[in-house]
Each structure stands twice: as C-alpha cells, then as structure tokens.
Amino acid sequence: MRIALWLLAMLGILQATSVSQALVDNKFLGKWQIVAVDVDGSRVYVPYTDSFVEFQSGQYIGFVGCNNFFGKYAIMEQRHLVLVMGGATKEMCGPVVGRFETTFLRYFYGDFLLKFTQGFLILKSDRMQVWLIRY
C-alpha cells in the first residue's frame, strides 16, 4: 500500500514537472499571422492576408477575414495545447471568406501539437494543421 501511494505521488510530481516546463516555455504567446491551413491533408486557401490568432494568458483571439473569434486554451503537457472554442461574432461574410471561416472554425479546437520550425509555429491536430508566423 505504501509503495502504491509513493508511486502515485511520484507520478503526480512528474506530471506537474512536464506541465511546469511547458508553461515556462511560452514562445507561442503573442500575435501570429495565419499563412497556411491544411484540413484533412488538403491545403485550404487563406483568402484574407491579415488573418491572425493571438495567444494571451489562457485565452486566444483571432480574425480570419470577417468575424472575430475567441476561446480559451490549456497546456496539457509539454508542446500540447488544448483549444476550447468560446465563440465568434456573426457578421455577414462574402462567399469565399465565409467558406474559409466556417471550415477554419469547425476544426480549430481540441488537442494541438506545437512545433517550431524555420520561423513558423505549426499547430497540428488530427484533422488540421495551421502554419503561423509571428507578426
């Protein structure tokens, strides 16, 4: 019984350590321009060149051409970000921007792996990959 409790305590410490390390490494915080989006392995055209997402302490905001969107995020383990959709404004959009925005917001939630490569921040989930570059 003592061994089991000790093992559980050690597991808790190890999990806290990986989360703490992820929180210390806040390179993803700030404003990022959305330069490319892949959904189910296919590139989706980003019609608005000033599309962005900004990560702040526990929250994110963004704009992809028509409506503002926002939500919360949590760091589950090192390099994993869980995005929780909060909402979006509801303005009329043109057809091209509207289709992109609908597709983007449909998949921009859940567990994402963060990867930094060649100046890009890449958010990768099971169905979506978003290429970002810092503003």
Q: What is the pTM of this model?
A: 0.79
Neighbour tally for 80: CB within 10 Å:
15
Q: Report the candidate in 28, 133, 7, 33 with the shortest Cα–Cα distance to residue 78.
A: 28
Q: Which residues contact 74 (CB under 8 A, 6 or more apart)?
A: 58, 81, 82, 84
β pairing state of 59-63 and 52-56: antiparallel
Query: DSSP 3-state assignment of 121?
Result: strand
Q: Note down pLDDT in tens along the chain; length 135 residues.
A: 555 444 444 444 444 444 334 445 688 999 999 999 999 999 999 999 999 999 999 999 999 999 999 999 998 877 899 999 899 999 999 999 999 999 999 999 999 999 999 999 999 999 999 999 999
Q: Which CATH architecture has domain 2-134?
A: Beta Barrel (2.40)
